[in-house]
Amino acid sequence: MCLWPIESNDSPIQVKTIITGAHQTLVELAKKQGYFVDLNSPPVDNNIAARQASRLEGPADTLIQSSEDKDIRSQLALDELYKISHTNELCVTHENPSFLKVQYNGEIPQIVTIANHKYLLPSKSTFLLSNLDTFKEIYPHAGGPFDVILIDPPWQNKSVKRLKSYWCESDTSLENLDVPQLAAPNCLVVVWVTNRRKHQEFVLETLFKKWNVQDWVTWFWLKVTRSGEPVNDMGSSHKKPYEVLILGRHKKGDPAGLNDVRCSPDGPKSLPESRVILTIPCSLHSKKPPLTEILAEFLPDNPRCLELFARNLWPGWTSWGNEVFKHQHLDYFEDVEDPESTGSDKDQGDEG
């Protein structure tokens, strides 16, 4: 993952020019660090297991609530979560049938088995499962207030509606999210937005005004292939190779922004006007890159982090959604060798 600061501009032509320039610079830097260099090797399809997992009808799918569901569906999955909670540092809360809370307090990732399927729980992760209709009921149980709230709304669009790949929420439903109740003072609010101008204007003119989010900036996520080229043509009118992030600070009791603390020595660090984040995207639909390290410099130490409309878990984060456990199936992951650990073991062996 690479970052590049740029100056924001509302003009599509300027955005294209700036992202193109950032792309060239980032790829050059990445190549110097050993990325995008082994391009002669045959392509490897390392997503077979992930595609198979996506077709499974296991607890990850039964632990899903549609907008019509009032209760969690899978009693089997719930029973097994309770069963393993006594031995895996898990705390399971299901006092209210409209939502489920699972908190894992372990320092290292934990693999749990539910209905013969294996799932990965990241360290210090918490998830809350409910639909948007019952979202307000989780406020007292969420564990806030939060220093960062990341929102990846299921925006309505024709393609998703036709394919029915996931459920969508209306603009009115998104307005009902009471972000201020979950936010700490100067909470960093981060929203993934499509390239549709309508959605971007809705975030700025409706959501951010209602939530009193100020000092907003725009960042871009540029998706590239294994060779470092954009996944789509930059000038494509159908599908852009980048997505948009809009970030701002929630101000408590300061609608006019008179007490802006951005310049205060004790205040939060100011957000750069714009940045380009460059990654090779995951093959899973709508899977976003992790932002923990990218946002760390703009957050206090040991921040409380919340993601809304999540479909997977992150270490140290609280995640909420009606499919929040979906992408934790072990088939979505692969074992990787830790170079530092390998080097350390080798050194110890040489000394012996």
Quickly list DSSP for 24-85.
HHHHHHHHHTT-S---SSPP----HHHHHHHT--SHHHHS---TT--S-S-HHHHHHHHHHH
Tokens, residue 90: 């898990």
Q: Residue 330 has what DSSP assignment? A: G
- For 138, the 3-state DSSP assignment is helix
- DSSP H or E stretch at residue 3: strand 2-6
Spatial CB neighbours of 14, under 8 Å, sequence gap ≥ 6: none
Which segments of 176-306 does DSSP mark as H helices, in order? 179-182, 197-202, 208-211, 292-295
> What is the per-residue pLDDT for 129?
85
* Separation CA 197–CA 176 (nearest Å): 21
* Separation CA 250–CA 56 (nearest Å): 40
> What is the per-residue pLDDT for 90?
83
Report the sign of the C-alpha dihedral through residues 10, 13, 15, 17, in that order: negative
- DSSP H or E stretch at residue 245: strand 242-250
Whether the CB-CB separation of 111 and 330 falls below 8 Å is answered with yes
* Among the listed residues 200, 191, 143, the one whose alpha carbon sits nearest the alpha carbon of residue 295: 191
Identify each DSSP E strand in 153-197 by its residue range: 183-193
Cα 262 off chain centre by: 25
Q: Beta-carbon neighbour count of residue 131 at 10 Å? A: 19
Would you list the domain boundaries of the chain?
Answer: 45-144+310-333, 145-255+268-303
> What does the radius of gyration of the chain's CA atoms come to, in whole angstroms?
21
* Separation CA 297–CA 247 (nearest Å): 14
Tokens, residue 10: 């509302």
* Separation CA 132–CA 172 (nearest Å): 11
Q: 159-172 in b/e burial notation, b at 16+ Cβ within 10 A?
A: ebeeeeeebebeee
Question: Per residue of the chain (352 residues), what is the pLDDT tens digit?
Answer: 555 554 444 566 678 888 988 998 999 999 898 888 766 655 555 455 555 656 655 555 555 544 445 455 556 566 777 777 766 688 888 767 778 888 999 999 988 887 777 889 999 999 988 887 778 888 888 888 999 999 999 886 655 444 444 455 566 778 888 999 999 999 999 999 988 889 999 999 999 999 999 999 999 999 998 888 898 888 777 788 999 999 999 997 644 444 444 334 457 889 998 899 999 888 776 789 999 999 999 999 999 999 999 989 999 999 998 888 888 888 888 777 765 555 444 444 333 3
- For 209, the 3-state DSSP assignment is helix
* Among the listed residues 218, 198, 212, 94, the one whose alpha carbon sits nearest the alpha carbon of residue 155: 198
* Separation CA 78–CA 129 (nearest Å): 12
> What is the per-residue pLDDT for 161?
47
* Separation CA 307–CA 303 (nearest Å): 13
